[in-house]
A and B are shown apart, each in its own frame.
Chain A
Amino acid sequence: MSLISIRNLEVHHGLLQAVRDVSFDLAKGDVLALVGANGAGKTTLLRSIAGAHLPASGRILLGDDDLTAVPSHKRIAMGIALVPEGRRLFSQMTVEENLLLGKTAGRQGDWTIDRIFDAFPNLVPRRHAKTGHLSGGEQQATAIGRALMSNPDILLLDEVSLGLSPLVVDRVYAQLQSLLTSGTTIVLVEQDLGRAMAVANRVICMLEGRIVLDEPTRGVTRDQITEAYFGLHRTNTERTAS
């Protein structure tokens, strides 16, 4: 039984077709790594699953509910939370206020402010600081915490390591570790292939808006992904045709 199904999804940015005919299913507890070059459509795909970007055609199903036309503020109440690329915190508000905003949807669950501070101890001394004054790692922790406060069934993480030093990325992933094994379904966009493959049980590679590889992490090699990532598997005729 799949938790969420994406069916033939097409998403446009004005005239640009960012996501083309994408279909996949996720079961509860899946950790999916979404990889691909810049402009492959990963962020657009995540944003349309979260409802921030409505698709031109295709369907998004959550269990038996059709989410396709549901706006973002209702999707989070249905259990889909996005940690947006670039964190997008409310910079004039404090860490605590940002976390409290995550509770707006009012879903029941285990996550409370105190548990977030337990999971991200680096935030404790910054509780009443405006998020505009935080370091990148602290901002990322706040953004993840804000999404967790909604007690999501599906957590979409868009480039959590973007703009952070390797040391800080290690810390963010260490903090995510318990989450990755807790049964929450996660879709992870990550540029670092090694890191993505270490935490995910399935990998989807996108190229120019399409899925070019969809495999369990265990059965796929780095070379196969690299090939799909750069589109090396396609024949020359195909390449000139597109």
Chain B
Amino acid sequence: MIDTLIQGILLGGYYAVIACGLSFMFSVMRIINLAHGSLAVGSGYGLWLLASRFGIPPFAGLLIVLPVMAGVGWLLQRYLLERSARGGALLPILTTFGLAIVIDNLLFEQFGADTRSLAPFIGSLSYDSWELPGGIYVGKLAILMMATAIALLGGLQFFLSRFALGRAIRATAEDPDTAGLVGIDARKVNALAAAIAMVTVGIAGAFLGMRATFDPYSGGPQLLFAFEAAVIGGAGSLWGTLIGGVVLGLAQSLGAQLHPQGFLIGGHIAFLLALFARLFLTGVAIVGRAGIGKIRLPLGSKT
């Protein structure tokens, strides 16, 4: 039982890493990026290509792939998301949905249907483990992913609260018009935020490839896990994302413990429970707070 709990928590580290970019993009740009999983798979293929074709190990390959992902984020925001955001709230969702289909099929055309993995290129890391007292084994890669999740989310939180650029990102998220009046170039800040989000997606893609296998259509399930973790943790809250990832990981591990088919179902049940709990609570207990929020927002924007 303790083993299941520990493995579930550590699995949550991976979910927190993939949910990080999704949650960050939603909180800053109000964009739900449905191409999130496909972009992570794209980064996985990038690392696989560098490793298998040029012999660059994945951890070194990140030094190439992450800047490329940052560039992809910048271009996506500048030429696709910014334009579609002008058409209303629904259009960016449809745009990223279309983008996901394009990316998936381009990857299929380029790399075929074979499943790939980065595990052969990282030595024994993908299956190595440490033994804890009590005969419990924890995977080195799982520990690494959990540490990365904490560092990534903590680092982002620190960056947003302590750095001028972080403050500019938060100000733009709250009120882009007024951000312009204090001297912030909202377009630049949003493009930068998208670049940061894509760097985290690149890291998520690396972990996806290291811990398991992927194929061109692996993006969908990854998006689903990221989405579930982000929603369970409260979309837009960075530390909440870590908690959401852990809850999802625990639910899946416990589900698998109960029934061989229970892995995914456990996660989905946790997601739905969190969703209904929030709907129920905001409907009854937090009506005052939500009400004030709703009244204050239009006042703030009009007066």
Question: Residues of A with Cβ closer than 8 Å to B?
Answer: 50-52, 71-73, 76-77, 81-82, 84-86, 88, 90-93, 97, 100-106, 132, 146, 150, 162-163
Smallest CB–CB gap between A150 and chain B, Å?
6
Smallest CB–CB gap between B119 and chain A, Å?
43
B170-195 vs A, CB cutoff 8 Å, 1 = contact: the mask equals 11001101111111111000000000
Task: Establish whether residues A104 and B183, one from each chain, have CB atoms under 8 Å apart when the complex forms.
Answer: yes
Task: Establish whether residues B178 and A73, one from each chain, have CB atoms under 8 Å apart when the complex forms.
Answer: no
Name the residue in B171, B183, B185 with the highest tally of chain A Cβ atoms < 10 Å from its Cβ: B183
Task: Establish whether residues B174 and A91, one from each chain, have CB atoms under 8 Å apart when the complex forms.
Answer: yes
Contacts of A81 in B (CB 8 A): 181
Q: A52-B180, A92-B170, A100-B167 are in contact. List 19 more A-B contacts (CB 8 A).
A: A50-B181, A51-B180, A52-B181, A73-B181, A73-B182, A73-B185, A73-B186, A76-B181, A77-B183, A82-B181, A84-B178, A84-B181, A91-B174, A100-B164, A101-B168, A101-B171, A104-B164, A104-B184, A105-B182
Smallest CB–CB gap between B251 and chain A, Å?
31
Contacts of B184 in A (CB 8 A): 73, 101, 104
The secondary structure that dominates the A interface is loop
B303 within 8 A of A: yes
Listed A/B pairs (16) with beta-carbon separation below 8 Å: A51-B181, A52-B181, A73-B179, A73-B180, A73-B182, A73-B184, A81-B181, A86-B302, A90-B171, A93-B171, A97-B167, A101-B168, A103-B164, A104-B164, A104-B184, A162-B303
Contacts of A91 in B (CB 8 A): 174, 296, 300
Contacts of A163 in B (CB 8 A): 303
Contacts of A103 in B (CB 8 A): 164
Please name the residue on chain A nearest to B180 by beta carbon.
A72
Give A150 to B182 CA distance when docked, in angstroms.
Answer: 8
Q: A73-B180, A88-B300 are in contact. Are A101 and B185 (CB under 8 A)?
A: no
Number of interface residues of B (CB under 8 A): 21
Contacts of B185 in A (CB 8 A): 71, 73
Task: Establish whether residues A101 and B167, one from each chain, have CB atoms under 8 Å apart when the complex forms.
Answer: yes
Give A52 to B182 CA distance when docked, in angstroms.
Answer: 11
Contacts of A51 in B (CB 8 A): 180-181
Contacts of A150 in B (CB 8 A): 182-183
B150-179 vs A, CB cutoff 8 Å, 1 = contact: the mask equals 000000000000001001101100110111
Task: Establish whether residues A73 and B171, one from each chain, have CB atoms under 8 Å apart when the complex forms.
Answer: no
Smallest CB–CB gap between B298 and chain A, Å?
11
Name the residue in A73, A76, A82, A85 with the highest tally of chain B Cβ atoms < 10 Å from its Cβ: A73
Give A50 to B178 CA distance when docked, in angstroms.
Answer: 11
A-B pairs with lowest CB-CB distance, top 3: A86-B303, A105-B183, A104-B183
